[in-house]
Amino acid sequence: MTLGELLSRTSTLLGEELTTEDGHGDILARPVTSIAYDSKQMSPGAVFVGLRGQQTDGTMFAGEAEQQGAVCIISASPATPGIHLPWVRVRDARPALAALSVEFFGHPSQELPVIGITGTNGKTTTAYLIQSIFESAGVQCGRMGTIDHQFGSNYQVASLTTPEASENQQMFREMIENGVGACVMEVSSHALALCRVTHTRFTTAVFTNLTRDHLDFHGDMNRYFEAKRRLFELLPQGQPSILNIDDPHGSILVDSVERPVTYALQNEAAVTCGSVEGSLTGLRFDVRTPRGEVRVRSALIGQANVYNILAAVATGVALDVSFSAIETGIAAVTAVPGRFEIVSDATDEVTVVIDFAHTDDALRLLLESARPLAPGRLITVFGCGGDRDRSKRPLMGAVAARLSDLVVVTSDNPRSEDPAAIIEDTVAGIDTRYAGQEGNRDSVPGGGQQTPFVTIVDRSAAISHAVGEARRGDVVIIAGKGHETYQVIAGETVPFNDAAVARAALMQRRSNARVS
């Protein structure tokens, strides 16, 4: 496709004329090789789109893009003096990037069924389950999300839950070329607000829940929800919306989508279940659907995973996947990295779990799921991220103190903030009715007991402390980072892995026990 052809087609899709100054006829006839928004990823023949970020305007790298062989600059900013390439000025570079990308890669989502999952919690596990259901039905399925982007033997660690538009469309096209028959992707609120999936044709959209998160970006819960709602506005006529109506925002969506397929535990829904048998070895329950009953036997743990399984079953039912494939697909997912992942083994006298929970509601669900599984105490290690919504820090502290027997407050990704200051914000939420200094278990006015807590800035030391303090039968929850293999401290990314540190602490505990 030539530059002139690409600009013409994009003008029609975008509803905005993309024109260049006179004198560029020769360049307009040149073939376009790629769409780029990062000058570091440039190659000769690329169209460079300068995106405005929260801190920088990508257009400032137009000179670098020209030096590396770009054929055109697309930007919402005026032309940079000294640039000799065609400069196309647009109202907003983000929707322009989405339109350019979908045209350049030939509208791949019209050939590839794409299932989009949005919500605060549960997206990753639900994506793993849906992918497994499709593959049990004989359909090779790609997956894009928080942990990785994967199809067949192709694997890429994810830097964003939902990549930028050009990367999305490129991956869809690559999936088609490699014989992939469907794709399930996590769709973040940032991606929806920033047009990363605009012009993507979704076959199905799934809503898991909405709780407080990302308010540093969206400003308030209403704008956060409106961003999520956009996924359902992208659905073509007649396509199903899978909605959790135990969440009030899911109930709101029911009235605004064309074909709702509801699921719930607490309310009447199209897909629901009766009693649930749960233990540290997994879940057993039967799911009632409009097509009949699905028998669930899963190695996943906790009530949050009951919801994730219901979402996956509802998706399979809505897309006419066989019950045998749904049951087999769910049973095949034995674990999801960093999601209620047990890192201890059967020989350990304590159970250690890592989980990605990094909001107050996710932490609540995690601890409520863990509590009935703990013969002894429930010990929680967690921290809060820096340069993010500060208002959730005391809320997480309050949840941890209310639902744990011992709390260890530590660092997460402090980024540019002082880790000790973040911990101070978090500890402020440990209500004095429930929390005191470690060792003080005296009853307090109004009932209840004070929950002991300690603060340890170094996350490795905090994990080691919790595992070392645990007694036989205790469950140690390490929350916040899950699958992540790094910490961001003072702007520097350093290797760090909760699972590896926890396993080392367990090994030390076993060694100490042998010595004793």
Domains in the chain, CATH or no CATH each:
3-104 (3.40.1390.10), 108-332 (3.40.1190.10), 341-515 (3.90.190.20)
> Does the pLDDT of residue 442 top 50, yes or no?
no
Radius of gyration of the chain (CA): 25
The answer for residues whose C-beta is within 8 angstroms of residue 184's C-beta and 6 or more apart is 114, 115, 117, 127, 130, 131, 134, 141, 142, 143, 144
In order of 132, 416, 434, 484, the CA distances from 497 in angstroms are 26, 20, 31, 6
Q: Give the percent of the chain with pLDDT over 70.
A: 95
pLDDT at 491: 86
Average pLDDT over residues 180-198: 96
Q: Give pLDDT tens digits for 418-433.
A: 999 999 999 999 865 4
Q: Give pLDDT tens digits for 268-311.
A: 999 999 899 999 999 999 999 999 999 999 999 999 999 999 99
pLDDT at 449: 66
Q: Are 18 and 24 in contact (CB under 8 A)?
A: no
Average pLDDT over residues 398-406: 95
Q: Which residues of 149-160 are buried (b: 16+ CB within 10 A; e: fewer)?
A: bbbeeeeeebeb
In this structure, what are the phi and psi dihedrals at residue 242, rounded to the nearest 5 degrees? Answer: -95, 115
User: Hunting for tokens 């350990």 — which residue is that?
Assistant: 348
Helix, coil or strand: residue 365: helix
Evaluate if pTM is beyond 0.75: yes
pLDDT at 443: 38
Top-confidence residue, 435 or 254: 254
Q: Give pLDDT tens digits for 52-77.
A: 877 788 999 999 999 999 999 999 99
pLDDT at 186: 97
pLDDT at 67: 94
Can you tell me the distance from the alpha carbon of 224 to that of 230, in angstroms, rounded to the nearest whole number?
10
Q: Give pLDDT tens digits for 336-370.
A: 999 999 999 999 999 999 999 999 999 999 999 99
Q: Give pLDDT tens digits for 23-50.
A: 566 888 999 999 999 988 889 999 999 9
> Does the pLDDT of residue 22 top 80, yes or no?
no
In this structure, what are the phi and psi dihedrals at residue 5, rounded to the nearest 5 degrees? Answer: -65, -40
Side-chain half-sphere exposure of 201, counting CA atoms within 13 A: 15
Average pLDDT over residues 110-115: 98
Average pLDDT taken over every residue of the chain = 92
The answer for residues whose C-beta is within 8 angstroms of residue 45's C-beta and 6 or more apart is 30, 31, 32, 33, 34, 69, 71
> Does the pLDDT of residue 482 top 90, yes or no?
yes
Average pLDDT over residues 485-492: 94
